[in-house]
C-alpha cells in the first residue's frame, strides 16, 4: 500500500458519538482513501472506548497513550505516529466537508512549506442549538488564534519546534495558538485556504458548564506573555474581550459619585441586555440572562487575572 500524502490527527476524549460523526465525514472525502490516513489518539478514561467503523476504505489507526493526557500531548503522539509529510489537525466534535483534504493539499501545492488554515463554521443541522449558552467555533480568516479544529502543518515544522507545548495542561488552553506563533517567529508562514471547510459542533451547555469553561482560561494568558504580537486578539491590547473591559469599568466606578456610578452601570446592563437579545433570549428572560452574563464575565475575569499574575503579564 502506498504511503499517504496527508495524515489527519485527532485527539479524542470520551465523545464516541461525536468521533463517529468525524470519521463518517472523513470517509466521505473526495480524496482517494489510499492518499490519506487518520490517526485517532484515544485520550479518554476508557469509559467510552474508541470504535473504528467497520467496512470503511480509509486507513484509521487508534493510538492510546500510557496514561491519558491533554490535547497537546495527544496531538504530539498523533503526528509523531503519522506517516505523511503534511499533518492535518481537527477535533472530535468536527465534521469536515468532503473537499477538505483535497483543498488543504491544493493550498500546500500553491504554498509549499506553509501552515494552512481553513474555514470553520457551525454544523448546519445543529444551528437550532445556538444561543446564549451554546459553544461553537467560527473562523473566516487567517489567524490570529490558529485553532486546531482546521489547520495543517508540514511535519518538518512540527519536528523543528517539538510540536505542541504540553505544559499547557490537560484542558484546551491556547497550546494551538502558541505553536502557530512559535512557527511564525521561526520564519515560517501561514496561508488561508477558503475552500478547506470544517463544520464544528454546536454544543448546548448548562449554566454550570458555561461557568466551568469560563474559569479554565488562566493558562491561555501564557500565550500573550510569550508572544506579545498575539495581543492583536485582545480588546484595546489589554482586555480579554469588550465584556471584560465593561466589567472592569463598572468595578472601578463603584467608589465614584452616585450619578456617574449609575450612568456607567446602566450602560453596562444595557449592553448585556443587548448581548442576551442577540443570542435569542426571550424578552421575559432578559433580566435573568443579564445577571448570568455578569456572573459569567466575573468568573472569566477572575480566571484571566489569575493567569496574568502567574505569567506576570497584563491581561484583564
Give tens-digit pLDDT for 274-314.
Answer: 999 999 999 999 999 999 999 999 999 999 999 999 999 99
Burial label, 171 (beta-carbon count in 10 A; 0-12, 13-18, 19+): middle
Do 47 and 120 meet the contact criterion of CB atoms below 8 Å apart? no
Mean pLDDT of 45-56: 60
CA–CA distance, 180 with 117 (Å, rounded to integer):
10
pLDDT of residue 53: 61
Put residue 212 in one of left, alpha, beta given phi > 0 → left and psi -120 to 50 → alpha.
alpha
Mean predicted confidence (pLDDT) in 167-175: 77
Cβ–Cβ contacts within 10 Å for residue 16, how many?
15
The whole model's pTM is what?
Answer: 0.91
Q: 110-131: per-residue pLDDT in tens?
A: 999 999 999 999 999 999 999 9
Whether residue 168 is predicted with pLDDT greater than 90 in this model: the reply is no
- Asked if residue 91 has pLDDT above 90, the reply is yes
Going from the C-alpha of 8 to that of each of 17, 114, 141, 315, the distances in angstroms are: 18, 17, 22, 34
Window from 13-17, 53-57, 65-69, 158-162 with minimum mean pLDDT: 53-57
CB atoms within 10 A of CB 229: 11
Average pLDDT over residues 235-245: 95
Q: How far is CA 125 from CA 15, 121, 214, in A?
A: 19, 12, 26
pLDDT for 23 beyond 60: yes
Q: Crossing angle of helices 242-252/286-311, nearest 10°?
A: 90
Amino acid at each position: 500500500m502506498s504511503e499517504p500524502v496527508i495524515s489527519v490527527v485527532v485527539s479524542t476524549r470520551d465523545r464516541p458519538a461525536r468521533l463517529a460523526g468525524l470519521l463518517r465525514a472523513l470517509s466521505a472525502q473526495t480524496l482517494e482513501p489510499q492518499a490519506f490516513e487518520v490517526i485517532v489518539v484515544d485520550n479518554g478514561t476508557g469509559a467510552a472506548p474508541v470504535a473504528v467503523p467497520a467496512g470503511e476504505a480509509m486507513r484509521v489507526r487508534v493510538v492510546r497513550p500510557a496514561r491519558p493526557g491533554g490535547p497537546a500531548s495527544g496531538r504530539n503522539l498523533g503526528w509523531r505516529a503519522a506517516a505523511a509529510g503534511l499533518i492535518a489537525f481537527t477535533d472530535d466534535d468536527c465534521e469536515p466537508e468532503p473537499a477538505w483534504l483535497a483543498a488543504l493539499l491544493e493550498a500546500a501545492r500553491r504554498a509549499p512549506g506553509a501552515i494552512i488554515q481553513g474555514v470553520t463554521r457551525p454544523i448546519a443541522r445543529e444551528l437550532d442549538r445556538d444561543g446564549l449558552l451554546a459553544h461553537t467555533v467560527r473562523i473566516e480568516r487567517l489567524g490570529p488564534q490558529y485553532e486546531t479544529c482546521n489547520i495543517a502543518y508540514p511535519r518538518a515544522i512540527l519536528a523543528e519546534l517539538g510540536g505542541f507545548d504540553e505544559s499547557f495542561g490537560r484542558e484546551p488552553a491556547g497550546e494551538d495558538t502558541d505553536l502557530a506563533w512559535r512557527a511564525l517567529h521561526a520564519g515560517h508562514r501561514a496561508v488561508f485556504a477558503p475552500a478547506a471547510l470544517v463544520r464544528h459542533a454546536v454544543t448546548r451547555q448548562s449554566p454550570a458548564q458555561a461557568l466551568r469553561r469560563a474559569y479554565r482560561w488562566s493558562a491561555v494568558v501564557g500565550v500573550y506573555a510569550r508572544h506579545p504580537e498575539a495581543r492583536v486578539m485582545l480588546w484595546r491590547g489589554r482586555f480579554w474581550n469588550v465584556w471584560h473591559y465593561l466589567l472592569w469599568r463598572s468595578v472601578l466606578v463603584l467608589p465614584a459619585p452616585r450619578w456617574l456610578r449609575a450612568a456607567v452601570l446602566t450602560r453596562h446592563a444595557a449592553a448585556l441586555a443587548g448581548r442576551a437579545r442577540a443570542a435569542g433570549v426571550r424578552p421575559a428572560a432578559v433580566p435573568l440572562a443579564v445577571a448570568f452574563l455578569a456572573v459569567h464575565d466575573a468568573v472569566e475575569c477572575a480566571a484571566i487575572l489569575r493567569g496574568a499574575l502567574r505569567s506576570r503579564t497584563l491581561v484583564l
